[in-house]
Structure 1
Amino acid sequence: MNLAVSTGSLTGIVGPNGAGKSTLLKSMLQLHPSLTGSVQFFGLPFHKVKKRIGYVPQRGSVDWDFPTNALDVVTMGLYGKIGWLKRPSRLHKAKAYEALNKMGMTDYATRQISQLSGGQQQRVFLARALVQDADLYFMDEPLAGVDAATEHAIMNTLKELQTRGKTVMVVHHDLQTVDKYFGHVLLLNRTVIEHGPTEQTFTKDNIFRTYGGNMRWMREENQDVVPSFEQ
């Protein structure tokens, strides 16, 4: 499987359950063992550029009972700059507050993360990634299980990152919003099926190749043809 992602692109990673979407991210970030192959970021191996990379894991993989508040979670995104044995300065905490403010979460800064709703937890984790000021962001289903307002806020943030020249790759599950949210799409099912600009890549034929016979196509009132799962 060969894949090259352009700088400054916003890419949706799409595929059926078990296609390897999360595994792809974890393998690239050395969070999952790899038997073969190699990955380079900005022409260098991961360990040399990891401070330039931000990662938002699936919400279900996080221990939300860990005794910490929202501000502390966001501040953790600065530990690469602070150092694990040093205390955050006022400037560091100010940056964390700024990131929380961007996600509309300032009022919840001292709230324990276990007391936040699913959408609020996701906003906090995105704020933690933002405070890193990375050049490349990986996000594993940041829109899963969130309300419409949170989804809107997250996508606005991701598009803002793109306008600032950041590269963003997002595991995404809702096929009906792919062409609305992403300029590029990676269709994946154990290997790369297609990758490229959404308008050229997110086609009926390519989606069938990715999902097999588990798809049907439906026509909405606006006459746009959109994919949907067969029940």
Structure 2
Amino acid sequence: MDDDAPPLTPAIPAATLVIFRETDGGKPELLMVERAKAMAFAGGALVFPGGRVDPGDHALAAVLGAPDDETAARIAAIRETIEEAGLPIGLSPMPSPAAFEALRAALHAGTALGEALAAADTDLDLAALAYFARWRPAHAHARIFDTRFYLARLPANAPAPRVDATENVRLFWATATQVLADADAGRATIIFPTRRNLERLARFADVDAAIADARAHPIRTVTPWTEIRDGVEHLCIPDDLGYPITSEPMTEAVRG
């Protein structure tokens, strides 16, 4: 991008969690969430669980002795997954079903995460999340999110996920390839960052392979740009961050 380009407008810090569920002999399935059509950002689209990094996430990061943005983002990814999908990812020890239900209800009622964790007799296991990518679009939109993507495996004794029925209307497990096929057939909507990450994730046989790939590539903020290629305007991303497809015609790209 041009070094003389104007500075980017402020973005909302966010975090999202890609949860892998192993299958018998096949590609792993990922948890996808369908956004309510009325939502201002990515309405009706399929996304991974996640949301904004709140001041409370930063406050808890400071209590843990790591008052940095990346720690706060990990905390937000865990909290949002509990709230949105009802899954105890990144908790140790695993709370009992009743304790976890109380924890989720407390978060929905506005209780601070640290307090809710203490009541459930559990704590955060931030190392259960592997940093995968960071995306920060720059197009003209009412809301721009600076989103960190994390990978995690579904614990063996985790409960079935349940949608929160507020911002989201449906959740389901599917392979990355299946989600891409549904989008290509017009049965689903996925925005540009989700598509690029699904294409990257579709190459892996398990979560360990995905984590190894993440560690083999630098984490650099991806800010897509437009350029003309063969006479067609494309939306582009860097070609050295592990993504198998790094451009898409603007007429086909879906932006949030």
- TM-score, normalising length: structure 2: 0.28
* Bigger fraction of residues in strand: 2
User: What's the TM-score, normalizing by structure 1?
Assistant: 0.30
Question: Using CA pairs below 8 Å that are at least 6 residues apart, which structure has the higher relative contact order?
Answer: 1
